[in-house]
Amino acid sequence: MNPNRIILIRHGESQGNVDKNIYSQVPDYALELTESGNAQAFEAGKLLKDSLKDETMYFYISPLWRTRSTFEQLTKSLAKTKLRFIEEPRIREQEWGHLRNLGESKIVEKVRDAYGTFYYRIPDGESAADVFDRVSDFFGTLNRDFRKENFPQNAVIPM
């Protein structure tokens, strides 16, 4: 059954959104939401409830902590009997390797821009082409899931 909607939700404000230097101290996957980010995600959950009423939802959640926290805040306003979820590692953000500071990041960005942003593979990270491949594979999963007779009325993807 095709869903009524596919809803994409940006994760709430994270530590990395506030201070880019934190990437030199905390791995990308472990960045947390800020207090403001938690509030944003909670408010988004209330809007989702108001929009979808009692419709069912299936969440695909990235393994990044900020996305998982966004999901936790979103679902505080939702009936647990109306939702299901799965962790989906293919929808995580692009891997930027082990860059230790903003200076290194700026150098990599210049080299990437000169080479071509789609094909340049970040050292110890991914190219945009790598991201395209894994997200394309995820779309195949969505297509198969949508064909299931018991698929919920909405697919929700906090990213």
Dihedral angle sign, alpha carbons of residues 36, 39, 43, 49: positive
Given the residues 72, 93, 104, 109, the one annotated as active site:
93
Query: Is 98 an active-site residue?
Result: no
**Cβ(153)–Cβ(3) below 8 Å:** yes
Please report how many Cα atoms fall inside a 13 Å half-sphere around the Cα of residue 104, on the Cβ side. Answer: 13
Answer yes or no: 126 catalytic: no
Helix residue ranges, H only, the chain:
15-18, 35-52, 65-74, 102-115, 128-146
54, 29 in Cβ contact below 8 A? no
Contact 138, 8 (CB under 8 A): no
Q: Which residues are catalytic?
A: 11, 93
